[in-house]
């Protein structure tokens, strides 16, 4: 009985450590692979799901004086390794893991030097990387692969310019300081909410997970109000006869990249390949034009290009050719084209 309890506690502690690690600094491909290997154990996967649930609940406990005292105790320790152990001893069992959820994205961020107290700064992530930025107002921004954004905070406003790429915003509630994200002529305005913005060659896509936002398009001064589960794509330089429409989507699947996974649900093969290619330097190309619109479904680890290519080849009866430059070509079986 005690051994089982000990194993459960260890899984929960490791889950809390992984949660803090994945949400407090640049996440490398190697770290994601290590996390996936750890999460392959069902007990660990369950513990991590519990940790995510506790983090959501922790938002309601952020003003609890006992939790605040525990976090401060951890910050006052001189050794990072002893910090976690001493803190766990100091916190009542009933609050231990809920506190650690808050600690993971609060104290650990400060310890590891990720807190941004900038008046204006540029942040970037490389190909295959994700980066977490904690703003001084308490908001959190997760940069997806190959993303650049600029942050400017003033006493009266919080402004983000998304130059390219994709980012997920978890906005701290502050009605006195509007939070806006601008990208390619579109502006997303929020007070306290969670949403995703992606800027690519075809426009700007906004996905709302929680709360409410208003999206305004400078060209034509059009605007849309979104609720959770809504997605909207707007363009700046391509006038349309009919204004873009908000559509209902699976927000969990649409933002699955934040968990290190790419989820496709009846996605055209060409679009799925384009998405996978964003996360690795090794690219996939499709030499079978008739299959470009074939719907594919499944969940894949971001950056695991080989696994995706193998799965598609098996599904569609294609052959994999690897070229000297690292490109992976999916084509019909038979002699390679000259």
Tens-digit pLDDT profile for residues 125-139: 999 899 999 998 999
Confirm whether 115-248 and 260-331 share one CATH topology.
no
What is the percent of the chain with per-residue pLDDT over 90, rounded to a whole number? 47
The answer on pLDDT for 250 being more than 80 is yes
Which tens digits make up the pLDDT trace of 255-298? Answer: 999 988 899 999 999 999 999 999 988 899 999 999 999 999 99
Between 76 and 127, name the one with better pLDDT.
127
**Cα radius of gyration rounded to whole Å, the chain:** 22
Domain limits of the chain?
A: 2-111, 115-248, 260-331
From 156-160, 222-226, 283-287, the region with the lowest mean pLDDT? 222-226
So what CATH class is 260-331? Answer: alpha beta
pLDDT of residue 115: 42
In terms of pLDDT, which residue wins out, 116 or 132?
132
Instruction: Over range 158-169, report the average pLDDT.
Output: 96
pLDDT of 114: 40
> What pLDDT does 168 receive?
97
* pLDDT of amino acid 9: 81
Judged against a pLDDT cut of 80, whether residue 80 lies above it is answered with no
The pLDDT score that the predictor gives to residue 331 is: 93
pLDDT at residue number 103: 44
- Rounded to whole angstroms, the Cα distance separating 141 from 149 reads 10
- Write down the pLDDT at residue 93: 45
Reported confidence tier of residue 76, pLDDT bands at 50, 70, 90:
low
Which residues fall within 8 angstroms of residue 206, CB to CB, at 6 or more apart? 186, 188, 195, 196, 197, 198, 213, 215, 226, 231, 232, 233, 234
- pLDDT given at position 57: 62
Q: Does the pLDDT at position 64 exceed 70?
A: no
Query: Looking at domain 115-248, which CATH architecture does it have?
Result: Sandwich (2.60)
pLDDT of residue 277: 95
Q: What is the pLDDT of residue 94?
A: 42
Cα distances (Å, whole numbers) of residue 198 to 4, 145, 183, 208: 44, 11, 8, 12
Tens digit of each residue's pLDDT (9 = 90 or more) over 225-246: 999 999 999 876 554 434 577 8
With cut-offs at 50, 70 and 90, classify the pLDDT of residue 31: confident
Which single residue is written with the structure tokens 């750890």?
38
- Check whether 99 has a pLDDT greater than 90: no
This prediction's pTM: 0.67
Element (H, E) at 213: strand 213-217
Distance (Å, whole) CA 232 – CA 8:
42
pLDDT one-digit tens code per residue, 302-324: 889 999 999 999 999 999 999 88
**pLDDT value at position 10?**
85
With bands split at pLDDT 50, 70 and 90, how would you rate the model's confidence at 196? very high
CA atoms within 13 A on the CB side of 330: 26
Helix, coil or strand: residue 227:
coil
For 105-132, the DSSP string reads TTHHHHHTT-EE--SSEEEEE-TT-BEE
- Decide: helix, strand or coil at residue 28: coil
With contact defined as beta carbons under 8 Å apart, do 333 and 319 qualify?
A: yes
d(C-alpha 302, C-alpha 314), whole Å: 19
């Amino acid at each position: 009985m005690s051994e089982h309890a000990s194993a459960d506690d260890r899984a929960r502690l490791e889950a809390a450590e992984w949660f803090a690690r994945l949400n407090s600094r640049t996440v490398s491909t190697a770290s994601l692979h290590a996390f996936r290997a750890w999460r392959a154990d069902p007990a660990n996967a369950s513990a991590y799901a519990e940790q995510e649930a506790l983090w959501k609940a922790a938002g309601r406990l952020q003003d609890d004086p006992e939790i605040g005292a525990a976090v401060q105790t951890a910050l006052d320790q001189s050794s990072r390794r002893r910090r976690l152990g001493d803190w766990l001893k100091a916190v009542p069992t009933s609050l231990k893991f809920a506190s650690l959820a808050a600690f993971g994205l609060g104290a650990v961020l400060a310890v590891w030097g990720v807190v941004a107290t900038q008046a204006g700064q540029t942040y970037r992530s490389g190909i295959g990387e994700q980066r977490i930025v904690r703003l001084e107002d308490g908001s959190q921004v997760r940069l997806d692969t190959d993303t650049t954004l600029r942050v400017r905070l003033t006493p009266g406003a919080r402004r983000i310019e998304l130059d390219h790429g994709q980012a997920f915003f978890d906005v701290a509630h502050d009605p006195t300081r509007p939070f806006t994200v601008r990208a390619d002529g579109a502006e997303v305005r929020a007070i306290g909410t969670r949403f995703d913005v992606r800027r690519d060659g075809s426009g700007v896509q906004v996905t709302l997970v929680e709360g409410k936002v208003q999206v305004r398009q400078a060209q034509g001064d059009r605007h849309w109000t979104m609720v959770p589960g809504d997605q909207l794509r707007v363009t700046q330089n391509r006038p349309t006869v009919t204004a873009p429409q908000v559509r209902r989507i699976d927000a969990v699947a649409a933002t699955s990249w934040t968990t290190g996974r790419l989820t496709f649900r009846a996605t055209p093969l060409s679009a799925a390949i384009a998405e996978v290619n964003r996360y690795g330097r090794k690219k996939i190309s499709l030499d079978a034009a008739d299959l470009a619109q074939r719907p594919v479904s499944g969940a894949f680890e971001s950056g695991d290009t080989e696994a995706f290519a193998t799965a598609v080849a098996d599904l569609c009866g294609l052959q994999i050719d690897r070229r000297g430059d690292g490109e992976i070509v999916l084509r019909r079986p038979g002699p390679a084209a000259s």
